[in-house]
Structure 1
Amino acid sequence: MGSFTRGLGLGAVFVALFAATIQAQAASTFFLERTETQFSLNLANGSSDVNIYFTSPAFSWVGVGFGAGMKNSLMVLLYPNKNGDNVTVSPRIADGNSEPSFAPEIKLDILEGTGIFDDMFVVKAVCRSCRVWRGGIIDTSNTAHPMIYAFGPGNSLYSDDPNVSLKRHTRYGKFNMNMVEATGQGEIPASSSSLKSVKLTQGPVKDHHRKSLAHSVLGCLALFVLWPLNVLFAGFLRNIRIHVGMSIFIMAFLVISFGLGISISSEFNRSKSFNSPHQILAFIAIAPMLLLSLLPLKPLAALHAKIPRLHTPLTTLTFTLLVLTGGLGLRLGSAANPIILAYISIALLVFVFLTLIQLCIKRRGSAYARATTRRRLGEEDERDFGLAKWGVKRKIDSTTGGGSPDSRTESQTQLWERDHGRSPSAGSAGSRSPYGGGTMPGPQYLLNMHPGVPVHKWPTS
């Protein structure tokens, strides 16, 4: 009987120890097999402490947040330190669907065993003020507390700054965590490779930042494709309406790109204040763009003879400002160096091409200007220098709708003599003109078709 009692006593001790062990390791664990990411949580009884064990591959950054969405969610983000030999832990809170900001009021005690081991982040930490924050709380009685997670792009972020700017996540998802199961004796959870008291509800979902892509593509198409084509149209096509239509098309591309850029700026801490060089230069470039749109208006162009001449220098200034704006935008968006170098190369090639085309146009004049000059000179030639019977034929056709020179009336002959001071038959009757008469245009008319050639006047009687 005594031995039986002693056996019961030992059994009770083992049960108590086993129960204590289970209670000490109370935790809920999120585990994503694809990346071997683990986030385990322990809520200490009788305390506001939150014990965290967090491990994941050393991407540029990885984070887990308390909440159904980004807005007002408390997130714990990890990324490599400046030297790449340890991990920076950054508690952040998001104001909306935008980059979260560092929350200095959240106090995390980083414990021994934290670092980067075999290209894996390993974090052991105790949060002293994580159960309540501005905009949210951890509901310790919730058996399906909403949680979120996200992964940044490749290894390009190394910083000791807990508020460093982040690139947009490439994948994200959601899960529910049982906070009741996570409550127990306070202790850092152990490493695990399986889900415990957690249910995956989404993802990981591949993210697409289509607005940013459209912003870049529209801007580059306007500058490096449509702009050079428009300069060619302006220089070598007589129909000025094609140049005007293409200019409107380019302006539409740029306006849409500007609108997308303003929308994107609100998503990132580095651009929310609109004080980056990229944004400042973009706003400066609006001024010459507006002037280019207003200069062709007749009331403005008529104010001074030099106003139309501002079109070419303003075009060059606008193009230069927009190209510089695009380059600074790539830097603001933390684009890879090969992309930035490719942009610079294309910009230089297009700039050289435009310079050569504009020099050619300046030397020979645009097709529209030359055609306009020829039309003007041609009208003057026909008015001032009649050409015998050929000129009479034009007068007859315009006043009578047809007929031959032989059917001219007396009044038509008088009209010719009044305009030109001589008889329409003078050229054929041995006139004193050095160029002769006839029914075909003479040398005098042909010479005046070419600006710069001395003008020969008809001898007066």
Structure 2
Amino acid sequence: MYFTSPAYSWVGVGFGQSMKNSLMFILYPSHDGSNVTISPRLADGHSEPSPFGDTQLQILPGTTITDSMFVVKAVCRSCRAWPGGFLNTKDQSYPMIYAFGPGNQLQSDSLNAPLHRHFKYGHFTMDMIAATGKGGVPAPATELKGVELQGNMTRDHDRANLAHAVIGCLAIFLFWPINVIVAGFFKRIKIHVVISIFTMVFLVTSYALGIATSGEYNRSKSFASAHQILAFLSILPILLLCILPIKPISQLHASIPRLHNPLTTLTLALLIITGGLGLRLASEATPVILGYSAVAILVAVFSVLLTTCIKRRGSAYARANGRKQVKAEDEQDLVLAAYYANKQYETESRSASAASSVPTLNSKASHSSYHGSVGGAGVGNGFVKYNGGTINGIGAGGPHARSPSKDGVFGGGTMPGPQYLLNMHPGVPVYHGN
């Protein structure tokens, strides 16, 4: 056979009406770009054909790349029958197919070099009787002889694979950092939840498209590539991010909510690495991989720094929710302090009444003159030996609160600085020596 073609990334011609069960010859530049690699292949469907080693292909002198053209001179033995098909040398309109890949991105000496999906493809018929000669390599010819083209070439698209990459990048590089910002600076947790769900929808869609397109290429049919393995491993932290915030689960242990930040960082790192490995698996050009790496580094650094700041400072929602919790705890402490203070006062009042006839709580007038009027539930930061006093500097004993008594015991009224600092424990009196 004699074959010439523009030197695209790859060019193929096959025997049969469609790709399935078609014996093909795939041509692409050798590793150094100076010669042609010819790979006999079979396809089991509309997918990348696999090398077929049962044929004996002998490359003859004169096979080369010249003026950006493939020139092939070869003889093939054991090529008239193959699994699922055969070559009928008596057929005057034998169906054949041809296709070529995009650009000049493939150079390899391997017969199993990975192929990009064809850029354009077409059909033609050949008169096998006219194609049969006396032997030897046919002479070059410019006119068609025994060949009839079947329609125009068809432009092909790999939309599913492109959508897989674009949707995945949008989820990682757009919605992910936006969600981190929302989680850190918005008090409404519902916004964070909505964007999280939106991000997960994009990730699930990207996963589904990736699984669907994996069967089209030899390098991904077995799901054993590093890209695919890491993608499946990333599902575990993604599921944990979705499940752990659910209340019945998050309340099982106090440490469960703390796993959210490290899981977020781990998941982002795994997804970024997975995307980079996917570009390598797809044999993308070096500029595309470098651009992806630059964007990935920027997003990763931004997300890690922002997550660290949020962890130290607390998210807006956590801070707002945390203030409510502090107030509730403070109120509970104050109630307990008031209870123990009243108990202490009643005990000491009874002891003092028995020993020195000091007015007790039963004498309203005496109690008012000795400790100030009875009012409120003064506890905590004020002197809490009696039932009036100050809460955080706010007098709860009413307008009858007085200054320290003669025996130097402070209590009631607005707390001065030194007494406030010394009286940090509820129920402990502060004595001021003259």
Shorter-chain TM-score above 0.5: yes
Match of 2:105 in 1: 156
What's the % identity of the aligned pairs? 56
Indicate the residue corresponding to 2:305 in structure 1: 356
Which residue among 374, 377, 391 is the counterpart of 2:323?
374
The structure 1 residue matched to 2:76, chosen from 109, 122, 127, is 127
1:115 paired with 2:64, answer: yes
Deviation of the 1:259 alpha carbon: 1.3
**Deviation at 1:327?**
0.5
Q: Is the 8 A contact 1:77 1:90 kept in 2?
A: yes
Answer yes or no: is 1:427 the counterpart of 2:376: no
Residue among 342, 347, 358 paired with 2:296: 347
Match of 2:217 among 252, 264, 268: 268
Aligned-pair Cα RMSD in Å: 2.8
Q: Kindly provide the amino acid, as one letter, of the partner of residue 276 in structure 1.
A: S
Task: Describe the superposition over 1:288-327 as per-residue Cα deviations: whole angstroms up to 9, x where unpaired.
Answer: 1111111112232222211110110111011101100111
In structure 2, distance between residues paired with 1:434 and 1:71:
95
Q: Which residue of 2 aligns with 1:26?
A: none
Within 1, Cα distance between the matches of 2:2 and 2:225?
A: 38
Cα distance, 1:214 vs structure 2: 0.5
Q: For 2:243, which of 277, 294, 302 is the aligned residue?
A: 294
Q: CA deviation at 1:379?
A: 4.6
Q: Does 1:244 align with 2:215?
A: no
State whether residues 184 and 310 of structure 2, in contact with CA within 8 Å, keep that contact through their aligned partners in structure 1: yes
Q: Corresponding residue for 1:192?
A: 141
Scaled by the length of structure 1, the TM-score of the pair is 0.73
Q: Does 1:230 align with 2:201?
A: no
262-271 or 419-428: bigger deviation: 419-428
Equivalent residue number for residue 335 of structure 1: 284
- The offset of 1:239, in angstroms, is 0.8
Deviation at 1:380, TM superposition (A): 5.4
Question: Which structure 2 residues correspond to residues 61-460 of structure 1 after superposition, within 5 A?
Answer: 61-379=10-328, 426-430=397-401, 433-435=412-414
Q: 1:418 to 1:265 in 2, by over 3 A?
A: same
Q: Is the 8 A contact 2:15 2:24 kept in 1?
A: yes
- Does structure 1 retain, via aligned residues, the 8 Å contact 2:376–2:396? no
Amino acid paired to 1:159: S
Counterpart amino acid of residue 59 in structure 2: I
Kindly provide the CA deviation profile for residues 15-34 of structure 1, in whole angstroms up to 9, marking residues without a partner as x.
xxxxxxxxxxxxxxxxxxxx
CA distance in 1, matches of 2:274, 2:233: 10
Cα distance in 1, alignment partners of residues 28 and 239 from structure 2? 44
Unmatched segments (≥5 aa) in structure 2: 336-374, 380-386, 390-394, 403-410, 416-422, 430-434
Is contact 2:2–2:74 with CA below 8 Å preserved after alignment? Answer: yes
- SS across alignment from 1:85: coil
SS in 2 for 1:99: coil
Deviations 1:382-414 (A, max 9, x none): 77779xxxxxxxxxxxxxxxxxxxxxxxxxxxx
User: What SS does the corresponding residue of 2:323 show, helix, strand or coil?
Assistant: helix
TM-score in terms of structure 2 length: 0.77
CA distance in 1 between counterparts of 2:185 and 2:424 reads 28
- In structure 1, the residue matched to 2:383 is none
Map of 2:4 onto structure 1: 55
Greater relative contact order (Cα < 8 A, sep 6+): 1
- In structure 1, list runs of 5 or more residues that go unmatched: 1-51, 387-415, 437-453
In 2, the alpha carbon distance for the partners of 1:455 and 1:259 equals 62
Deviation digits for residues 333-361 of structure 1, max 9, x if unmatched?
11111111111111111111112211221
CA contact (8 A) 2:377 2:396 kept: no
**Whole-Å Cα distance in 2 between the matches of residues 425 and 342 of structure 1?**
67
